Structure 1
Amino acid sequence: MPEVTATGDYAIVAITKHGTQLARRIHAVFPGSDLYYMKKFEQGDESGQGITLFEGSVRLLLPELFAKYKGLILIISLGAVVRMIAPILKDKKTDPGVVVVDDKGEHVISVLSGHIGGANELAREVAALIGAYPVVTTASDVQKTIPVDLFGRRFGWVWESDEKLTPVSAAVVNEEKVAVVQESGEKNWWMYDTPMPDTIHVFSSIQKALAEKPAAALVVTHRQLEKEEEIILTNGVLFRPKVLVLGIGCNRGTAAEEIEQVIEETLSELKVSMKSVKAIATIDLKKDEAGLLEVVRKYRWEFVYFRPEELNQKEISQPSETVYKFTGAYGVSEPAAMLCSGNDELLLTKKKSGNVTISVGLISY
């Protein structure tokens, strides 16, 4: 088997003469794809096209493709694919999306990891490119209702725990009474052009939802739940929207560990979740601050910085002549949090702890 060097996110694989022609056609119009087919169908231009040839059973190639690609487009019969991938399946949260295309290019079937792995969307995309019919069997897609494991994913929402994903998903597709409690985050999460099913009810608070005794719940909030509120998670999934902005000022050379500790302590005091942090905001003088850069890299947060004149446009609680003397701004953490969150009412105006000053803003939608 050839060495697999993934240059794109998707691998296209063919093992027949007609499948090879179709695979070449898909490869030509599908960005970020790598193409693999059998050496006996070599056409002479493979090296120039970045196409990989292989000999022997494709079964031996699949484990490495599974490990290195986000999605696989297999022009192989469905039954053969099912038998070949069965021994290498691990978890729906890590397995790549797999779609199967028939030799004539008439159907594109979502086979594995339809939601989290993106196979449903991949099937639709490939079908659109070649004029085929996408075959998607996931219940939430067919019924045009909430796909719980993808809820808010396009906005960056993450779940607190996946323990109840399956029973909550079952409640949704079985048309049981489901509560969506949204305290923060983007409001345009309904994905379809059809009305929301009348079995799904949206509430602004957990207390209102509990009063209606739903069979399941999806809760969207940056808050840490109070003990009496946690009952809604008996059959519920807690989602964390990216709505918190941390305005931070610090002395030059402040260690990442100190910055991280101040962030953790502050958010704990405010009873909000680290998973809901979207960005760190500061002054442009700190754009190369090693400790800040290390923290944003670790948590994959956005890093936003403003010029002093931008920060000075905001009215802040305690303007500092000393800070102005060294930075040109009358404050850093407070106005940075306001500007980045788009909200002048902060969850935390300003707190100084050691070498770090922190303010916390909430993005409102």
Structure 2
Amino acid sequence: MIVLGEGSIPSIAQRGDYAIVAITKHGVELGRKLQSTFSHADLYYMSKFQRGDEESRGIQLFEGSVRLLFPALFPAYKGLIIIISLGAVIRMIAPLLEDKKKDPGIVVIDDKGEHVISVLSGHLGGANELTREVAAALGARPVITTASDVQGTIAVDLFGRRFGWEWESADKLTPVSASVVNEEQVAVVQESGETGWWLFDTPMPANIRVYSSAAEALAARPHAALIVTHRVLTAAEEALLANGVLYRPKAIALGIGCNRGTSAEEIEAVIDSTLAELSFSLRSVKAACTIDLKKDEPGLLAVVDKYGWEFVTYSPEQLNEVPMDAPSDTVHRFTGAYGVSEPAAKLYSGASKLALVKKKSGNVTISVGVIEFN
């Protein structure tokens, strides 16, 4: 039993990603139904509605003002599904709001379960998608008011998110979003990354045009730009960021060979200097690839872990099947492969021509490939 009182944050037992909250008889019925559908959701309701099966179902009961429950739920869950009137919810959560990048998605359901409303963090917090899922589960009507969703166009703050793209310049998210929904001319510059980002069945709006290079987009003089590239922009190209957002796709594969016992600091320094020479962004690295003899190399593992990159190893036989520009008998003598960094980068990226075939620096050999997406 959770007893809610002023001046302290209650202790909750979080199990799922989402919390369902109800305070009325009908709301409890809806909440119990939803919990059966959403196995990844925790249900909270007032103790006066207890049925006796709450403990076995993992339902948490509370006494006191529900307002005092939200300070505990806000930081714990990805989203809150609240079966309380919209006005009351707004008043209760208002003091807890911080930033759309941090706040959980908030979904409100009316007491009869007829409407499911996306209230807060529709895009970044996932409330819009959660609204659709909850509405489908209840046979209710989803209510979503985000302009990009209503108009069927690009949601700038979600662009490429499902592929792992990262913002590098997010301060223009709001004005660029305004250009998109106000049907001003918007350039999408895509030099790398996944191409299947248009999610609607309808054609792309006429105000959005895709360019293969920043130079082409600059010549078109758009009102706004969404730039998807692994490259560091030149000074001239940065003019697009006056009203633009720069996205970093996961598009770089690093092939790495190193002597046994090479430190993480040395490996990282070589990676940093190499990408700087190529004018490539570290934030676009997707994977580090090597021979399976190095699968337990401490320095290499430390760097991969630091950045959260994929770590892929190949057998000598796999590496030897790849055409190489610079095969090495010396490497073959020690590893059984005629090369490590070059064929590893080619295997992962799918590129026949690498951005950097091979560079030897101290104890590290590195190759760089840009991943080819269809």
After superposing on structure 2, the runs of 4+ consecutive aligned residues of structure 1 that deviate more than 4 Å are: none
Which residue, 198, 204, 210 being the options, matches 1:202? 210
Structure 1 counterpart SS, 2:357: strand
Q: Distance in 2 between matches of 1:36 and 1:308?
A: 56
Q: Distance in 2 between matches of 1:303 and 1:67?
A: 31
1:186 aligns with 2:194: yes
Q: Deviations over 1:40-72 (max 9, x none)?
A: 111111111111111111111111111011111
The alpha carbon displacement at 1:326 in A equals 2.6
Which residue, 155, 165, 173 being the options, matches 1:157? 165
Over the matched positions of the two proteins, sequence identity in percent amounts to 69
Q: How does 1:160-309 map to 2 (within 5 A)?
A: 160-309=168-317
The alpha carbon displacement at 1:5 in A equals 2.8
Under a length normalisation based on structure 2, what TM-score does the superposition of the two structures give? 0.95
Q: Distance in 2 between matches of 1:291 and 1:17?
A: 59
Q: Distance in 2 between matches of 1:291 and 1:132?
A: 54
Partner in structure 2 of residue 38 of structure 1: 46
1:331 aligns with 2:339: yes
Q: Distance in 2 between matches of 1:5 and 1:342?
A: 46
Q: Distance in 1 between matches of 2:180 and 2:57?
A: 46
Provide the aligned C-alpha RMSD in A: 1.2
Partner in structure 1 of residue 6 of structure 2: none
Q: Distance in 1 between matches of 2:17 and 2:348?
A: 32
Structure 1 counterpart SS, 2:169: coil
Q: Which moved more, 1:189-198 or 1:43-52?
A: 43-52
Structure 1 residues 322 and 69, CA gap change in structure 2 (3 angstroms): same
Partner in structure 2 of residue 132 of structure 1: 140
Structure 2 counterpart SS, 1:181: strand
Q: How does 1:20-39 map to 2 (within 5 A)?
A: 20-39=28-47
Q: Distance in 2 between matches of 1:289 and 1:104?
A: 59
Which residue, 68, 71, 76 being the options, matches 1:63? 71
The alpha carbon displacement at 1:281 in A equals 0.9
1:12 aligns with 2:20: yes
Q: Deviations over 1:337-365 (max 9, x none)?
A: 00011112111111111221111011122
Q: Deviations over 1:121-172 (max 9, x none)?
A: 0100111111111110000000001100011111111111111100000000
Q: Distance in 2 between matches of 1:108 and 1:338?
A: 48
Q: Deviations over 1:179-238 (max 9, x none)?
A: 111111111111111111111111112222122221111111111111111111111111
Structure 2 counterpart SS, 1:227: coil
The alpha carbon displacement at 1:323 in A equals 2.1
Under a length normalisation based on structure 1, what TM-score does the superposition of the two structures give? 0.97
The alpha carbon displacement at 1:320 in A equals 2.3
Partner in structure 1 of residue 150 of structure 2: 142
Q: Distance in 2 between matches of 1:20 and 1:363?
A: 50
Q: Look up the equivalent residue of 1:158 and give its one-letter code.
A: E
Structure 1 residues 353 and 5, CA gap change in structure 2 (3 angstroms): farther
Q: Look up the equivalent residue of 2:32 and give its one-letter code.
A: R
Q: Look up the equivalent residue of 1:358 and give its one-letter code.
A: I
Partner in structure 2 of residue 120 of structure 1: 128
Aligned length: 365
Partner in structure 2 of residue 340 of structure 1: 348
Q: Distance in 2 between matches of 1:136 and 1:243?
A: 33
Q: Look up the equivalent residue of 1:312 and give its one-letter code.
A: N
Give the gaps of 5 or more residues in structure 2. 3-9
Structure 1 counterpart SS, 2:236: helix
Structure 2 counterpart SS, 1:160: strand
Structure 2 counterpart SS, 1:61: helix
The alpha carbon displacement at 1:289 in A equals 1.9
Q: Look up the equivalent residue of 2:287 and give its one-letter code.
A: A
Give the gaps of 5 or more residues in structure 1. none
Which residue, 85, 89, 93 being the options, matches 1:85? 93
Structure 2 counterpart SS, 1:339: helix
Q: Distance in 2 between matches of 1:124 and 1:71?
A: 13
The alpha carbon displacement at 1:111 in A equals 0.4
Q: Look up the equivalent residue of 1:47 and give its one-letter code.
A: E
Structure 2 counterpart SS, 1:233: helix
